Structure 1
């Protein structure tokens, strides 16, 4: 009998309470769905994304909810040798499942897939069956687990303690960028399966030859059924681009239903490369199972794979220990973003929306995305988009900012979760790293938990008040080694030698989260160049989204001002009221109106991104001297419309910071920066003579040091012309003779061009030409911008006849030129600075270019 899958998608309804509750059933969305979405569908709650409505729906998390559907049994599943199962790809989270009144499953882990044999419970062909799922509140169940385990010290950052023992997306409890929306429901598909034999999984393990021209390995298939020895399994391996039958291989049964076949792809094999370094060649691997004698085919399954070699290079060097990625023997500077779930209600995120998000990352020249440990193991569509578009994935396991327990039942569930998800995702060539958690070692340091680096006995770790070390340093690396062969593992982010955390950063080893800008000591972002590390896997600066986004979620005009209750409620970052205003006030002349303040926050965030990516990419250096291996901003996206560190808002509308990253991650980019005048390094007895702000106003009277360099990810040397100009902010005229340099730009590294001194307050403009075409420019301003005056800038706009582009020119230097973007509009660039003599052409989609509003600093 062939494999038959019947998705149980429709005819669902739900009610408040358990099975015996007298509440009335209401129509639900098709599965997958969540209770908040279904309550919205039935007008039982206000939209929690608007105004202060999040508060009005908190009660939902404290209730039990029941989902129910009916479905007929397919007529042909009663044949001999047929097995019938219900597959639950994900239940959120404490769920009791009943089929025709019989309890068939109890779930307590949102990240697990369950397959239940219901052959004895399913009714005869054509007869209706009733499926019911009761979801108990994770908030209350979590508190019960805390009480049941007094032996453990449950410590969590962000909201409250009940999330610690619950295997559920941790951000549902709220975070410093997202609301508290504790949803529940059948959040992944449910399928009725009937079969004699079924292929449970298909995977490949392979090695590339030293010269990367040949691949050899084994193809595997795990078959479920009664008599695997009576079966025949064949594999085919086909490059997706050529659409032929490819290589065909006959599998050999090795026991326990596992079939394998050796294969090789002779030279030259087509490799999968990160974006910017080569093509993303993909192959289809297909396995088919049939009867060895009759050749009746029972089932087939396929995966899309790519051949690549990925290494995490951690070698001793003159600085400490390196931390960077090498793919296909090429050192890769990883410039990209951290990723949080794309919605507070996960079932709203379609495959198309995932692709849009990854496309945005790719279009801004990013080549890595970090899936953060407080969210979910993402949808297959997410990783497929990364495969297609060449985005490397740093994948956290789902632990974040807590001291997690390690009692027996918890460890069993965690191991099952880790193995399932490693198996589900291991075929994706995009996955470059598995990481144990996010910031859990920070908890160790802050609360003085027991951690002895010299103690290497995993069983002893379980007896400490930090038992989760067993998970991060023994269990998870073991799972990765066994299930995801060829992919590196890292115990935590951040993690150096076990002592380097977010609180105590050791920039010479491991990755770091640099939060002394914004959080911590609130350093000026101009100090980013000196605040890097071997790999900066988190840092950030907040900014408002564009006004249209705010106007969608702040519905009353009287609430649309900086500091309104509705605005402050929407920004979940601790201390944001002081931090955001402080950073704006330190750098710019304050504007209190809504559009003006929003614009300044955006320019500030874009400036911060420019300082960070430009300077830390400079530290990429050259082979053997990789001072910084990558930069991942916190964060790419939002889970609701809000004010946060995201560089693209909930509606996929980029902020100017997005374009700053895009410019700094071009394959070849020029950088120019002047040294920041750091008054804090002066002797204490001189401080009284100077301004108490972070920038000394007398610096404008002094000569300052500046440097120009070129960063390249090209794998060949390039000949370039570099021009450096010094331009008066007041007049727009050049005040010194321009400097011209001709350089051979080093391949895959940094080329220093000039280091000298000049006087402020002039703009320094550096441009890079290759084959007589300008491909990059960079402008350095004397900080803080608020000390500068911007009389008429003589801004000129020239629109193409079809409105698909606009060219901007200026008579005097302009800071922070921003078009107001909105949903459905796409620009090729935004949030840029301009100097006289440069024409800036921006491509526009979704609206006639003349319809775009714009502003600049001091306008």
Structure 2
């Protein structure tokens, strides 16, 4: 119960407006939903079926029906419960096997019948991602569903897979980040703290995903590879590795959220994976099992503000767009300023009245292929100051340079202690 209270507090502090309880999860008790009700956080609730083929026998379906009836009757009166989802990724399993997901009686027959009788006015989607009849038999189904889980090759976070997707809603997306060293010391024995490679204890506290591409099955190796994508090399000490990994994760997840906001309304939302670990491990979470925050927590907390100033990508042009994203239902008068982290000279500054629920480009920054710069961003709305940053250029970046920039990033509104990052 204490962990639930603290976890929902994290969701609220981060500015999350929806949480997905996925099909590999448990059904949370009333305490969780009560807190979400109070905080105004919507819940996407999967039924507890995930990533496999389930029996279609009458006996098993009867058990599914009894479970669904009990869960729906228990939770249906919570206003935070936004929608029911039949399962996690099972439509995709059917499609990949050349089968019709519509033949899955759990999500097309039993669960819809229960909902029709016991919670008829709440939204229901059969699977996440849902494969509609029009896509059955189509090649590369996963890339064409309206909702998508954007895992892919897990390479550079600004690679084509992440920049050119077609999702109208992102139900899953993530990037690995090493826990703080102080947390690792609590679940890895002293003689196995380092190196990361060929380390059995690290592997015990990670995932080896046999169903994924060989290049991304070993999640410890994946975490190291993602560090190399951004910095060109893998550090040779635990402290440096943890810092580099947390920077990589933080920049990646910040980009995923910002790019989703900039694609409004083509892409209408993102449920990134994930807030907190359920056990001590190396993972995509931004808060570890011991409630120690990774750097991504601080970055996400800034870019999930209802009104946010975002620097986008140049695309084929020579300018980076400066966009005011107003996700509120009211106009917002914004004063913004962007400056270079090195010389602290103001590059653009201005005032703008942002219409409700819209994005507007208010300025642009000249960019060059050779740039490796850090832009610092600050804006004010209703007397309150906010901060963000933009890492310009392409890898490899130098970790020492980023460490120096981190001091300036940390000092922006909603500050944090740069010296404690990854410790």
- After TM superposition, the score normalised by the length of structure 2 is 0.87
Matched, 1:427 2:3: no
Aligned residue for 2:24, secondary structure, equals coil
1:650 alignment partner, one of 285, 289, 311: 289
Looking at structure 2, the residues matched to 791 and 610 of structure 1 have their Cα atoms a distance apart, in angstroms, of 16
CA distance in 2 between partners of 1:792 and 1:778 (Å):
14
1:543 aligns with 2:177: yes
Alignment RMSD: 2.8
Q: Which residue of the partner structure matches residue 776 of structure 1?
A: 387
Deviation of residue 428 (structure 1)?
0.8
1:502/1:705 CA distance change after superposition, 3 Å: farther
Q: Say which structure is richer in strand.
A: 1
CA separation in 2, counterparts of 1:545 and 1:361? 19
Match of 2:213 in 1: none
CA apart distance, 1:534: 1.0
Displacement of 1:710 in angstroms is: 1.3
Equivalent residue number for residue 389 of structure 1: 39
Matches within 5 A, 1:123-142: none
Equivalence for 1:581: 224
Tell me the equivalent position of 1:635.
274
1:220-235 equivalent positions in 2, closer than 5 A? none
More helix by share: 2
Q: Which residue of 1 aligns with 2:204?
A: 569
Residues 757 and 554 of structure 1, relative CA distance in 2, 3 Å threshold: same
Show CA shifts across 1:407-442 (max 9, x none). 011011100110111001111111000001000012
Equivalent positions of 1:272-421 (< 5 A) are: 351-421=1-71
Equivalent position SS for 1:583: helix
**Which residue number corresponds to residue 191 of structure 2?**
557
Query: Given the alignment, which residue of 284, 297, 312 partners 1:673?
Result: 312
SS in 2 for 1:650: coil
1:854 matches 2:388: no
The structure that has the greater radius of gyration is: 1
Question: Which of these residues, 360, 364, 367, is aligned with residue 758 of structure 1?
Answer: 367
Shift, 1:788, TM fit: 8.0
Q: Which of 316, 335, 341 is equivalent to 1:721?
A: 335
State how far apart, in whole Å, the 2-side matches of 1:768 and 1:395 are: 35
1:661 partnered with 2:300: yes
CA shift, 1:773, in A, is: 5.2
Matches within 5 A, 1:130-209: none
- Deviation of 1:768 (Å): 2.0
Shift of 1:766: 3.3
What is the DSSP-based 3-state SS (H/G/I as helix, E as strand, rest coil) of the residue aligned with 2:3?
A: helix
Q: Are the counterparts in 1 of residues 147 and 168 from structure 2 also a CA contact under 8 Å?
A: yes
Q: Secondary structure at the match of 1:711?
A: strand
Shift of 1:833: 2.5
In 2, distance between residues paired with 1:711 and 1:530?
21
Residues paired across the two proteins, number? 407
Distance 1:631 1:532, change over 3 A: farther
User: Do 1:724 and 1:766's aligned partners in 2 also have CA atoms closer than 8 Å?
Assistant: yes
Give the structure 2 partner of residue 796 of structure 1: none
Aligned to 2:141: 504
Distance 2:125 2:96 in 1: 21
Residue 726 of structure 1 and its aligned partner are, at CA, apart by: 4.2
Q: Deviations over 1:155-184 (max 9, x none)?
A: xxxxxxxxxxxxxxxxxxxxxxxxxxxxxx
Q: Residue 488 of structure 1 corresponds to which residue in structure 2?
A: 123
SS of 1:370's equivalent?
Answer: strand
Specify every segment of 5 or more residues in structure 2 that has no aligned partner in the other structure, as ranges.
209-216
Deviations 1:192-228 (A, max 9, x none): xxxxxxxxxxxxxxxxxxxxxxxxxxxxxxxxxxxxx
Tell whether the 8 Å contact from 1:634 to 1:645 is kept in structure 2 after alignment.
yes
What is the Cα deviation at residue 517 of structure 1? 4.7
Gaps of 5+ in 1: 1-350, 454-460, 462-468, 621-625, 678-702, 794-813, 818-831, 844-848
Closer/same/farther in 2, CA of residues 445 and 711 from structure 1, 3 Å limit: same
CA-CA distance at 1:606 after TM superposition: 0.6
Q: Secondary structure at the match of 2:312?
A: strand
- 1:610 aligns to what SS in structure 2? helix
1:524–1:517 distance in 2 versus 1, CA, 3 Å: farther
1:833 is the counterpart of 2:405: no
Pairwise CA distance, 1:776: 3.2
Query: Judging changes above 3 Å, is the alpha-carbon distance between structure 1 residues 637 and 536 closer, same or farther for their aligned structure 2 residues?
Result: same
- Residue in structure 1 matched with residue 238 of structure 2 by the alignment: 594
| Residue 774 of structure 1: how far off its partner (Å) | 3.3
- In 2, Cα distance between the equivalents of 1:529 and 1:840? 28
Normalization by structure 1: what TM-score?
A: 0.45
Task: Within 5 Å, give how 1:600-611 maps onto structure 2.
Answer: 600-611=244-255
Partners of 2:399 and 2:294 in 1: how far apart? Answer: 24
Residue by residue over 1:569-619, the C-alpha shift from the partner in whole angstroms, topping out at 9 and shown as x without a partner, is 321142224322221112114312111101111111111111000110122
Q: Quick check: 2:92–2:131 contact (8 Å CA) kept in 1?
A: no
8 Å CA contact 2:294–2:421 kept in 1: the answer is no
Contact 2:323/2:363 (<8 A) preserved: yes
Matched, 1:613 2:257: yes
* Displacement of 1:529: 3.8
Contact 1:614–1:664 (8 Å) recurs in 2? yes
The C-alpha deviation readout for 1:250-282, integer Å capped at 9, x for no partner, is xxxxxxxxxxxxxxxxxxxxxxxxxxxxxxxxx
- Classify 1:789/1:651 alpha carbon distance in 2 versus 1 (closer, same or farther; 3 Å): closer
Q: How has the CA–CA distance of structure 1 residues 411 and 773 changed in structure 2, closer, same or farther, with 3 Å as cutoff? A: closer
Which structure ranks higher in relative contact order (CA pairs < 8 Å, sequence separation ≥ 6)? Answer: 2
SS in 2 for 1:738: strand
The 8 Å contact of residues 435 and 493 in structure 1, kept in 2 or not, is answered as: yes
Aligned to 1:472: 107
